[in-house]
Structure 1
Amino acid sequence: MSVVVTHGGKIVHAAGYGRDSAGEPVTENTPMRVASISKSFTAMAVMTLVDDGRISLDEPVAGRLPEFRMADRRAACPASTASPPRPSCVPPCRRSRSSC
């Protein structure tokens, strides 16, 4: 296992413990396979912010990270809304008959 602790944007502790699958000592620079565990850490961090009242689960990610984009542009569209959908949420064929 390797551990890095940061505070205020600075590394305050970095170390490795144990040995890797080849028997080599693990250091703070040993590459580790993170796999899907990063999803659990992200969920925990988000829920901590929700519990602290700093964010809402209903808040769009782009509200905090303006550069964030979904690969599927339909994901940016609300599932249901009382107002008409934004033009970017309407498929091209519904916006203009000439583009069908």
Structure 2
Amino acid sequence: MGRRRKKIIRIPKKRLPKFFSCPKCGKETVRVEIFREQERAVAGCSSCGFQEEFQVKPAQGEVDVYCMLTDRVYSSSKSSSVKTGQAA
């Protein structure tokens, strides 16, 4: 007689998110569309209407475009607070 066979536990693979949090309004409504033929991407928030366009390289994905969006938003807000003399 043999031993009872163990149940195989399958670990689900983690997937990249489809929606990201908006740096302006804070809701999880930013969606990134990449147009590979035109080498551009559009990231837009469906809640507050915020939208930016970026030039992308063939190896970049949605997460990379979202990181560029947050960098652009936070660097512009940081530079505007420096111009007015406020602390960041």
- Which category describes the TM-score, using the shorter chain as reference length? under 0.3
Bigger radius of gyration: 1
Greater helix share, 1 or 2? 1
Greater relative contact order (CA < 8 Å, ≥ 6 in sequence): 2
Greater strand share, 1 or 2? 2
Output the TM-score relative to the length of structure 1. Answer: 0.25
Output the TM-score relative to the length of structure 2. Answer: 0.27
